[in-house]
Chains A and B, each alone.
Chain A
Amino acid sequence: MSNLLEVEDLTIQYKTRDASVQAVTDATFSVEENQFVGLIGESGSGKTTIGEAILGLMDDNGEIASGKVRYKGEEIQDYSEEEFQSKLRWSEISLIPQASMNSLDPIDPLDQQAIELAKTHTDWSKQKILTRLQELFEIVGLPADRITDYPFQFSGGMQQRAVIAFSLLLDPEIIIADEPTTALDVIMQDQIFKYINQIKDENDTSMILITHDISVVFENCDTMVLLHSGHIAERGNIKEIYRDPRHPYSILLEESFPDIRSPDKSLAIIDGKPPVIQEGVDMCTFAERCPWANDDCFDELPNLEPVAGDENHYTSCIRAEELDALVEGSDVAGDD
């Protein structure tokens, strides 16, 4: 498999009146063909910013300070708005934005919105666009004859599925989905992921799934990138990270999730919140919340290094090798 998208040492800053905030620091990861990558973190971890940066959609005060984003080998981080629009958005990489139920235009019927979208990026005929939209409606479990409805005629879950259909309209290689099911209840969430996985199998699509929900990533993704304060804590195959987590944040996050199979599991609590990072961060971003931090953790920002014996598994914890023993000697991780 080859890399479709490569993010390399990406650092993103937002300028505010008083200072500049470093939302993302030296992030490196890639997305292969037909691969689902989970981008996980709490509020303020920089996960949405990375998704926006890939498509050139950051707010005006945000900028890529350093690093590269390559799509099919071509550097795209310096694309102009016009280039993003004509070469990349929707046709190559599409976005399911956060709270995307609100991203549909309330005053146009859905088929008109699809036509406008497709005409901007392709030379498809109207008939071709509508046929394609009907096919996609069926894939996501919506009645094909309802493409002429207005968004308000749909329930929240149906709107969400319509947005997913739109994201597939121009047959993109990658979909960036930002919390696609967070506003929905569990049954609707389960239905949506059923369709999303069907799309993966049938269309060879890749996805960057942005979420705070580790169980959704464990069930649907191939690899994961765990962010804390804009810095990657751990990255690798989901099964590998589940079996052998090499960062305290991964361990605690896993332990903080309720599991319906074991209602007595005691939930870990991660104290504090991710710090806001300013330029030139010089300590581990997780050190202040970490039960196993020592003085060295406050000395410098650790690099993301491969875990011995597994070239696809990376951690930025300097105590990764001792972690097993450290966790053993504490009661932070609940027994289930």
Chain B
Amino acid sequence: MIEMTAEPVLRLEGVDKDFSQANSILGSIKNRVLGRDVEQLHAVDDVSLTLRRGEVQGIIGESGCGKTTLLKTIAGLHEPSKGDIIYRGENITEYTTKEWKEYRKNVQIIFQDPFNSLDPKYPVKEALAEPLKIHDVDDIEDRVVNVLKDVKLDPPERYLDRYPDELSGGEKQRVAIARALVLDPDLILADEPVSMLDVSTQAAILEDLNDITTQQDVSMLYISHDLSTVSYICDRVNVMYLGRIVESSETRDLLDEPLHPYTQELMAAIPVPDPFAERERTQIQGNPANPIGLPGGCRFKDRCVERMDICDTTPNDIETNDQTEHQVACHLHYDHTATDDVAVSANGGDGHE
């Protein structure tokens, strides 16, 4: 159940993450001393979202859109360049060391690649006991056995002493999920958790993640490049392009009526398991630009088939459907004739000047 009224588990407000382009510490000191203005790489640009208790939200976009950087910033692996990350009402950038430890217990990551995220020298029970030891939790054995049941590695005795290379891809990912769950977190950050798995296993893992978030009241951010899996796990979907969220809505509403041309292309590019279907191939060319020194305006304009003159002005989010809080940042959905309600930045700047 998603609790609408209670305090959200996570709230992002205008989060930016920039990376310095200098390729060494010396280089960056030199630039600073010489007063050189080096263009920053804007990996994450003004991202805001609210994740409620028990809610699963997807962040979907191409390689290089900044989705993994956003996840790492939330996890505390990067420091945000701007904006606030509010976890249960507190800004994580103001945390003390002790508070960080508590945060790391409550917020867990599942990585994309189960083949590399488990230590090959640790049997399953050690891999699962390790986080419990670090956080001084009691009943280690009971907890390990129970969490294995939760992720359907049942009976647990069969798996406790196995090493990662004695597990299939799906079983490895289940152990990785168990490791994230064993500390009883309230937020899970999942980075493409099924993309490396065979499709026969993918459905089962999605179903389990769904059960876990529902039954244990855990919130989750689910990162993927593939919109075809979001309906199985996400309550809400955010589409990200070059660091910005360009569209956000309840999953079903977004899939039924995608508004941003980029979301439409992302859906159209997915192959359909039907040889009789006549699908048109994507019209977008090439890759997204590098997020360095980008001009103002819509980030997608250079690849957009609907491009207009006004697209040189940065579009703000507008809400098209308050039932589903369907928001889109695209000029196609503005009423540009209504002069007193122009939802665009006044001078066309992109907020970074």
Contacts and interface: CB of A to CB of B under 8 A. Distances in A.
B252 interface: yes
A212 B198 contact: yes
Contact of A213 (B207, B271, B281, B282): B271
A187 B273 contact: no
Given A213-B271, A252-B200, A260-B272, 18 more contacts: A155-B64, A155-B287, A184-B63, A186-B266, A186-B271, A187-B282, A190-B271, A190-B281, A190-B282, A191-B284, A194-B281, A213-B199, A214-B199, A215-B273, A216-B271, A239-B276, A242-B274, A259-B273
B275 A253 contact: no
A260 B198 CA distance: 18
Contact of A253 (B62, B199, B274, B286): B199
Interface string B247-275: 00001100100000000011101111111
B203 A267 contact: yes
B310 interface: no
Interface stretch (A59-67, A116-124, A268-276, A303-311): A268-276
Contacts of A318: none
B281 A260 contact: no
A42 B170 CA distance: 12
Interface string B161-187: 000000011100000000000000000
Contacts of A218: 271-275
B127 interface: no
Interface string A118-160: 0000000000000000000000010000000000000111100
Given A156-B63, A212-B198, A219-B279, A254 B285 contact: no
A239 B199 contact: no
Contacts of B277: 219, 261
Interface of A: 42-43, 141, 155-158, 184-191, 193-194, 212-216, 218-219, 238-239, 242, 252-254, 256-261, 263-264, 267-270, 273
A158 B287 contact: yes
A254 B267 CA distance: 20
Nearest to B270: A260
14 contacts: A155-B287, A185-B62, A186-B227, A186-B270, A191-B281, A212-B198, A212-B199, A213-B199, A213-B271, A253-B199, A256-B203, A258-B229, A263-B252, A267-B232
A239 B227 CA distance: 25
Contact of B275 (A42, A239, A256, A264): A239
B206 interface: yes
Given A156-B63, A218-B273, A43 B198 contact: yes
Contacts of A155: 64, 287
B345 to A, nearest CB: 28
Contacts of A263: 231, 251-252, 255
A203 to B, nearest CB: 19
Contacts of A212: 198-199
A158 B287 CA distance: 9
Contact of B272 (A156, A191, A261): A261
Contact of A259 (B62, B226, B228): B228
Contacts of B202: 256, 267
A325 B94 CA distance: 64
Given A187-B269, A188-B287, A242 B275 contact: yes
A259 B286 CA distance: 25
Nearest to A42: B198
Interface of B: 62-64, 168-170, 198-200, 202-204, 206-207, 225-229, 231-232, 251-252, 255, 265-267, 269-277, 279, 281-282, 284-287
B342 to A, nearest CB: 31
Contacts of B276: 239, 242
Q: Which of the listed residues B62, B229, B274, B284 has the most CB atoms from chain A within 10 Å of its own CB?
A: B274
Given A158-B287, A186-B225, A218-B273, A257 B267 contact: no
A290 to B, nearest CB: 13
A270 B273 contact: no
Contact of B281 (A158, A193, A264): A193
A219 B275 CA distance: 6
Contacts of A260: 227-228, 255, 267, 270, 272
Contacts of B286: 141, 191
Nearest to A185: B225
Given A260-B228, A264-B231, A269 B207 contact: yes
B199 A186 contact: no
A42 to B, nearest CB: 4
Contacts of A253: 199-200
B109 to A, nearest CB: 21
Contacts of B274: 215, 218, 242, 259
B61 to A, nearest CB: 8
B198 A186 contact: no
B188 to A, nearest CB: 21
Residue among B168, B206, B252, B267 having the largest count of chain A Cβ atoms under 10 Å: B168
Contacts of A256: 199-200, 202-203
B226 to A, nearest CB: 6
A273 B269 contact: no
A267 B206 contact: yes
Contacts of B285: 141, 191
Contacts of B62: 185-188
A257 B273 contact: yes
A42 B206 CA distance: 18
A257 B62 CA distance: 21
A42 B225 contact: no
Nearest to B226: A186
A267 B199 CA distance: 10
Contacts of A259: 228, 272-274
A187 B265 contact: yes
A269 B63 CA distance: 28
* Residue among A42, A186, A194, A263 with the highest chain B CB neighbour number at 10 A: A186
B42 to A, nearest CB: 18
Give me the 8 closest cross-chain CB pairs, A-B, nearest first: A263-B231, A267-B203, A270-B200, A215-B273, A185-B225, A215-B271, A190-B269, A258-B228
